[in-house]
Amino acid sequence: MEELTFAAALTDLASMAPEIWQACRETALMLAVGLVAAIALGGPLGIVLYLSQPGQLFANRWVNGLLGWTVNLVRSFPFIILMVSLVPLTRLIVGSTIGPVAAAVPLSFAAIPYFARLVEQTLREIPRGVVEAAEAMGASPMQIIVKVLLNEARSGLISSLTILTISFLSYSAVAGVVGGGGIGDLAIRYGYYRFQTDVMVAMVLLLVLIVQIIQFAGNRLASRLDKR
Amino acid sequence: MIHLQNIRKRFRRPDGGWFDAVCDTSLSIGAGEVFGLIGFSGAGKSTLLRLINLLERPDGGAVIVAGQDLTALDAKALRRARQQLGMVFQQFNLMANRTVAGNIAFPLEIAGWSAADIASRVAECLEIVGLADRAEHYPAQLSGGQKQRVGIARALAPRPKVILADEPTSALDPKTTQSILDCLKDINQRFGVTVVIVTHEMHVVRSICHRAAVLDAGSVVEVVEVNGAEVDARSALARSLLEAA
Ligand SMILES: Nc1ncnc2c1ncn2[C@@H]1O[C@H](COP(=O)(O)OP(=O)(O)OP(=O)(O)O)[C@@H](O)[C@H]1O
Ligand SMILES: [Mg+2]
């Protein structure tokens, strides 16, 4: 292995710019699909989990128990095993099992119950009395969900989404290794398998930077929305 | 205005048995009256109040408000009926992420008012409770007494026939208590709104109620008349509450 100088590393990275850019786009795609699935399906699931709890608007032991059990089941799979188990489903939906779109399937699958639990937790912090006041004023269940629950929990929901995004940035690196591509994949392919330490370090620094930005933006937005 | 007929309500105890929170109670409250529900802790005051807007569903009996039996209504009709019944809470129960104006607007949004009507009604209600300068504040920026004024304005906004208040002053100091009671009294006199107020303090009854039901162990022991500040009580329980005050 030739000696690594800063200048050499820079030219090396510069020559790889298109590949790095490609990896960023793949990571962004995996995350975007996973987050959209989490919000669109995990969000409502979390609301149902919350509302079906004893003492809540639609208290139902069976619904709550069944949903809670299913969520726990999916969440107990180590991600890499979940990914492998979902190969048939992925092939069915995407038609292929490699590439960022294919990797987005198991990512979404893991993101949905994860976000559902985060939503449930966040909603629990709303005082019961506030919901009851809305009930007493004649609000419909839909009005209570949208105008009271989601609005009162909005800052917590943004924090939850921040946590989810950051966790899934690292999940997406795992998904990348088995054919999804992305920043994590690039770091491992060049840095780990081909001993190009400069590429690995650069990719890790890039991930560090992305995480910091996401957390900073999440905190800022959450505190701006919080009027408590 | 409000007729409770042979209302019963029991709760499951943790040990599996039943606990009678309200047993076979009948009560009539007239239009424009300020009516107190008084008794010691656990007497069933809150439960009885919550039975009036069906936050608790009775196990038996009828709840008739403005000529309508609420227990016979379906979910949608009950929601409409509830818009005629404002409620004020001990812990205020305001929405922390809505401004004062936003909180007062909430029941009007629920009832489908237009934005222009909401704006003018909110301004009116803010004026009534003396918080016109706080419209854009958030509840976290208000004192307890101010929060309760918002609670009252919110209850008053849809022009209800009845306001139900569960210990609206119990979280407040004596001076603030008096100003909140004056505010409720003022609303009752100016708009003829019937007020049902739960309290464990006889002085609240003295200062605003026309009549009050004395409750013990889920039953009405006596309905007392208030003349000026004189409470005409016969039962031993009512007398002990009088002495405690
Ligand atoms: N949801 C419930 N489940 C079980 N028991 C309940 C429930 N709500 C009230 N109770 C019981 O019913 C009884 C009457 O309660 P209620 O809240 O009406 O009393 P209260 O007169 O308002 O008392 P306080 O002055 O302490 O507020 C109490 O013993 C209480 O424990
Ligand atoms: Mg009570």
Q: Domains in chain A, ordered, with CATH?
A: 2-225 (1.10.3720.10)
- Rounded Cα distance between A15 and A12, Å, is 5
Model pLDDT for residues A160-208, shown as the tens digit of each residue? 999 999 999 988 888 877 777 888 888 888 877 777 888 888 888 999 9
For range A134-138, the mean pLDDT = 96
- Rounded Cα distance between B121 and A40, Å, is 37
Q: How far is B96 from chain A (nearest CA, A)?
A: 5
Q: Quick one: which of A164, A185, A183, A178 has its CA closest to A85?
A: A178
Given a cut of 60, is residue B245 above it in pLDDT? no
* 8 A C-beta contact, residue B24 and residue B220: no
Q: Locate tokens 């005629």: which residue?
A: B84
Buried b (16+ CB within 10 A) or exposed e, B195-209: bbbbbbbbbbbbbbb
Distance B217 CA to ligand 2 centre (A): 13
- Could you give phi then psi for residue B132, rounded to 5 degrees? -55, -30
- Which protein residue's CA is at the shortest distance from atom 30 of ligand 1? B42
Please give the helix or strand (H or E) that residue A209 lies within, else none. helix A197-225
Model pLDDT for residues A143-166, shown as the tens digit of each residue? 999 999 999 999 999 999 999 999
ipTM over 0.95: no
Identify the three-state secondary structure at position B73: coil
What is chain A's alpha carbon radius of gyration, rounded to the nearest angstrom? 21
For range A55-73, the mean pLDDT = 93
What was the pLDDT predicted at A163? 95
For range A79-99, the mean pLDDT = 88
- Rounded Cα distance between A216 and B25, Å, is 58
What was the pLDDT predicted at A2? 55
Is B110 in Cβ contact with A139 (below 8 Å)?
yes
Is A127 in Cβ contact with B110 (below 8 Å)?
no
Is B140 in Cβ contact with A227 (below 8 Å)?
yes
Write out the two tokens for A142: 């839909």
- Could you give phi then psi for residue B25, rounded to 5 degrees? -110, 135
- Rounded Cα distance between A199 and A186, Å, is 8
pTM here is 0.89
For range B202-215, the mean pLDDT = 91
Q: Quick one: which of A180, A49, A168 has its CA closest to A110?
A: A168
Model pLDDT for residues B93-107, shown as the tens digit of each residue? 999 999 999 999 999
pLDDT over 70 for what percent of chain A?
A: 98
Q: Locate tokens 């991930």: which residue?
A: A207
What was the pLDDT predicted at A200? 84
Q: Quick one: which of A179, A182, A181, A186 has its CA closest to A87?
A: A179
CATH superfamily name and code, B2-84+160-244: P-loop containing nucleotide triphosphate hydrolases (3.40.50.300)
> What are the sequence ranges of the domains in chain B?
2-84+160-244, 94-159
For residue B136, the chain A residues in CB contact (below 8 A) are: none
- Rounded Cα distance between B46 and B183, Å, is 21
What was the pLDDT predicted at A4? 65
- Rounded Cα distance between B242 and B232, Å, is 10
Distance A87 CA to ligand 1 centre (A): 55
What was the pLDDT predicted at A192? 76
Is A151 in Cβ contact with B98 (below 8 Å)?
yes
For residue B139, the chain A residues in CB contact (below 8 A) are: 227
What was the pLDDT predicted at A178? 73
Residue B35 to residues A88, B8, B67, Cα–Cα distance (Å): 68, 20, 18
Q: Among A59-73, A176-190, A204-218, B43-57, which stretch is predicted with the lowest mean pLDDT?
A: A176-190
Residue A111 to residues A33, A60, A161, A185, B187, Cα–Cα distance (Å): 10, 25, 10, 20, 52
Residue A127 to residues A81, A133, A159, A223, B103, Cα–Cα distance (Å): 39, 10, 19, 19, 15
- Could you give phi then psi for residue B193, rounded to 5 degrees? -70, 130
Q: What angle do CA B81, B87, B89 make, to 5 degrees?
A: 155
Distance B68 CA to ligand 2 centre (A): 26
Given a cut of 80, is residue A16 above it in pLDDT? yes
What was the pLDDT predicted at A154? 95
Is B140 in Cβ contact with A138 (below 8 Å)?
no
Q: Which residues line ligand 1 (CB under 6 A)?
A: B 11, 19, 21, 39, 41-47, 200
Distance A72 CA to ligand 1 centre (A): 35
What was the pLDDT predicted at B227? 80
What was the pLDDT predicted at A3? 61
